[in-house]
Amino acid sequence: MRIAQMDWRMVEDWLRHDDRGVLPIGSVEQHAGLSLATDAILAERVAVEAAEPLGIPVFPAIPFGLAPYFQAFPGSMTLRVETLCAVVRDLLDSMKRSGFRRIVVVNGHGGNAPAGALAQEWMMDNPDCRVRFHNWYNAPRTFAMCQATDRVASHGSWMENFPWTRLPTTPADGVKEMVDLERLRTLAPFESRTLLEDGNFGGRTQRPDEDMLAIWNVAVEETRAQMENW
């Protein structure tokens, strides 16, 4: 259940019999021809679909994450590491004060890894709580399904091109040669844009929707298991 569809009394009623809650986290950054909010859209959607049959409350996704390397692409937003960690800590504190004790953070952006370390630190200070930091996109079954579908998958490529991240202006299927990732990691933002051009790291632009929905269904099931099996 989306928190956006609940009032405070409904949350209080939930917490009388269950202490589970879900906090998605994403990023607003360039994704080639896909939505700038791709990571936030996917993190919240997979969390909501996974939680739905369990009735677990899902908070709105934190839309912003860490994306300093994309700052030469207009519309790309970034927090500093200390800011992201402070925000996540404050929100975990708020959830605990409400009564949540088992929290799944569903992460949709690789750059947000420091928030996972923060979750471990937070549990050190809150030993009566449990937090799972779940990278839905590279969880074992989901990643294996991606690899079985197409081994060349990267940022801004087909693997993030779902019907709900695609735009009317998204290019049709094409293939881009993979960039030199080792070189990319050493570049300043304006140099990264020059190397990446459209922003896709490489691979096909799009795959058939039936392929994507098959991957999505696995991702939802795998995310649900994180919420269900404590």
Return the percentage of the chain with pLDDT > 70, whole number: 100
Q: What is the DSSP letter of 2?
A: B
pLDDT at residue 41, as a whole number: 98
Residue 200 lies in a domain: yes
Check which CATH number belongs to the domain holding 19 and give it: 3.40.50.10310
Its pTM surpasses 0.95: yes
Cα–Cα distance for residue pair 164/197, rounded to 1 Å: 24
Residue 42 lies in a domain: yes
Q: At 190, phi and psi to the nearest 5? A: -65, -30
Q: At 63, phi and psi to the nearest 5? A: -75, -25
Residue ranges of alpha helices (H) inside 26-133 are 38-51, 81-98, 113-125
pLDDT at residue 173, as a whole number: 86
* pLDDT tens by residue, 19-68: 999 999 999 999 999 999 999 999 999 999 999 999 999 999 999 999 99
Residue 33 lies in a domain: yes
Cα–Cα distance for residue pair 50/197, rounded to 1 Å: 35
Cα–Cα distance for residue pair 224/49, rounded to 1 Å: 8
Residue 230 lies in a domain: no
Q: Which residues pair with 229 in a beta bridge?
A: none
Domain extent at residue 55: 3-225
- The answer to whether 10 touches 99, Cβ cutoff 8 Å, is no
pLDDT at residue 88, as a whole number: 98
Residue 52 lies in a domain: yes
DSSP annotation string for 106-150 = EE--GGGHHHHHHHHHHHHH-TT-EEEEEEGGGSHHHHHHHHHH-
pLDDT at residue 163, as a whole number: 97
Counted domains in the chain = 1
User: What parts of the chain have a pLDDT lower than 70?
Assistant: none
